Every structure is written in C-alpha cells, then in structure tokens.
Amino acid sequence: MTRTITRSYDNYATASSVVEQLEGAGISSSNISFVGHNGETDETNAAEGAGIGAGVGGAAGLLAGLGLLAIPGVGPVVAAGWLAATAAGAVAGAAAGGLVGSFVKEGHDEEEANYYAETVRRGGSVVSVRAEPEQEATVEAILDGATPIDRDARMAQYRQEGWTRFDENADPYLRGQAAI
C-alpha cells in the first residue's frame, strides 16, 4: 500500500536537492510533489503556472516541470506534482481546501496539513512522496538526511505567535511578521 511521506524545509535549495536525490535513487518523478518559495516569484507572474502538475514527470525530472502557482493565503510559489495539480484545481474551481485540502487528500491529518501549508506560507518548501513499502526506508533516509524542519518545534513556535491554523484568506506572510 502506497504511503505519502512529507517533509518541510526552510529553503528552496535544500528541497530542490532532496527532489534530485529522490529521483537519483530511482523514485519516479510522478510520485514526488514539491511546493515552495524560491525567492524569485512575485505577484506579476504568479498566474502563469496555474495549470501545472498534471503533465509533470518523465526523463527530464520533476524540477524541470516546476511552474508558478498563486495559492490563497500563501501567494506565488513554485510547484510541481500532484499537490500542485490539486491545489491549482481547487483555486481554479474556487473549491474549499486549496493547499490544506491537497495534503489531507494525500493522507495527512488536518493538523499536519495546516502546518505544511503554513510553512509554505512563511517561505518554506515542502517535498511529498508517494512511496511503496519497499521504497519507504530510502525515501525517509533521503528526506531526513537533508535536515527537515522539526514539525513539533516549529508548530510550537507558530502557536507562541498566536497561530492556530492555516488561513487561506490571510495576506501572504512577510518574514519577520507574526502570523495570527
């Protein structure tokens, strides 16, 4: 049975490296999703990638298929894979859930989904992998080898700042600004 394994990272470069390592280990790009900030996205070109995700994959790898996506409450991000496709569909169809719904659909509970969406909102990046049982140890070793964010510690930090859950109606987060 396929299991979705997800980790968050403070920066785009680390998450990109993780994706490359996963592909190098033989994990199909069709089983990897990526969403995050690369520091170069802005509101002027965010709508360009609203339809990405469905055709990502192939020999060129997941990162070659990165596109821009504007997510409510997050702002413009680079994204590829099924998380991007699901979030883009929710945004385009005005469906509830957006990024949080994408994580829940992949098997994460509401608390985890809200954490991952908030991490992206605050400038982080998330890599999520659909892994078969025989791939789980390899996937976890690669994801954890890149020193992901400690979810429990980061959630405690968010809560100290007054955060309770991801709010897709909030303005995009600016570094140094407390999210409430």
The arithmetic mean of pLDDT across residues 19-47, rounded, is 77
What is the domain partition of the chain in residue ranges?
3-160
Using the structure block, give the residue that is written with the tokens 């991952």: 116
Residue 65 has a pLDDT of 65
Average pLDDT of the segment spanning 159-180: 74
Whose CA is closest to 39, among 72, 14, 18, 7? Answer: 14
Mean pLDDT of the chain: 78
With 80 as the cut, is the pLDDT of residue 148 above it? yes
Q: Is the pLDDT of residue 135 over 50?
A: yes
Residue 179 has pLDDT above 50, yes or no: no
Q: What is the pTM of this model?
A: 0.79
Query: Does residue 54 have a pLDDT over 70?
Result: no
pLDDT per residue as tens digits for the range 61-111: 776 666 666 666 666 678 788 777 665 554 443 334 578 888 888 889 999
136 φ/ψ angles, rounded to the nearest 5 degrees: -55, -45
Give the pLDDT score at 95: 37
